[in-house]
Amino acid sequence: MPIQLNEGNGGEILVVHVSGKLARADYERFVPEFARLVGLHGKLRLLFDMTGFHGWEAGALWEDVKFATKHFADIERLAMVGEKKWEQGMAAFCKPFTTATIRYFDRAKALEARQWLGGWSPDGESAPEDSGGAAD
C-alpha cells in the first residue's frame, strides 16, 4: 500500500509513510483521515516518511495540490524524512505552501524527527523503525 498512516500522541501526531508512486486513489484514504484528526485535535504535527517514495502519478499530483490548498493552516509542524537529495529539496519547496514549520531529516535520523515533533507515544501501534540522530 503506497500510504500507511499511524497515529501517535492521542492523534496529535500523524505518521504518513509513502512508498512507490502515489495514485489518486491513495488520497481517497488519506484526506478523510487527516480531516478527521484535524476536526478532533486542531492543528496536527506530521511525520512524512518518504523512504521508498518514487513520486506521484499525474492525477495524484493534482490531489496533492488540492490537499495543500485546503489544509494550508492545519499542520503545525512537518518533519520530512527521506533518503534522496530531491526529497530534501521538496521540503524547501513546500515552505511557501503552508504555515507549518518544516524540517527535513535523513532516514538515519528518524528518531530525532519524532522528538522534534514532540515525541512519540503510539496509540496501539508500534513506532516506525528508526536508527538515529538529526539533520536540517
CATH number at residue 61: 3.40.50.10600
pTM recorded for the entire structure: 0.78
Distance CA 55, CA 62 (A): 12
Task: Please check whether residue 5 is in contact with residue 16, taking contact to mean a CB–CB distance below 8 angstroms.
Answer: yes
Distance CA 95, CA 36 (A): 24
Is 135 within a domain?
Answer: no
Strands 3-8 and 13-18: antiparallel
Distance CA 62, CA 103 (A): 24
Is 25 within a domain?
Answer: yes
Instruction: Tell me the pLDDT tens digit for each residue of 31-54.
Output: 998 999 999 999 999 999 998 888
Domains identified in the chain, total number: 1
Is 70 within a domain?
Answer: yes
Is 123 within a domain?
Answer: no
Is 31 within a domain?
Answer: yes
Q: Using 50, 70 and 90 to split pLDDT, how confident is the model at 95? A: confident
Range of the domain at 21: 3-117
Is 122 within a domain?
Answer: no
CA 71 to mean position of chain CA atoms: 13
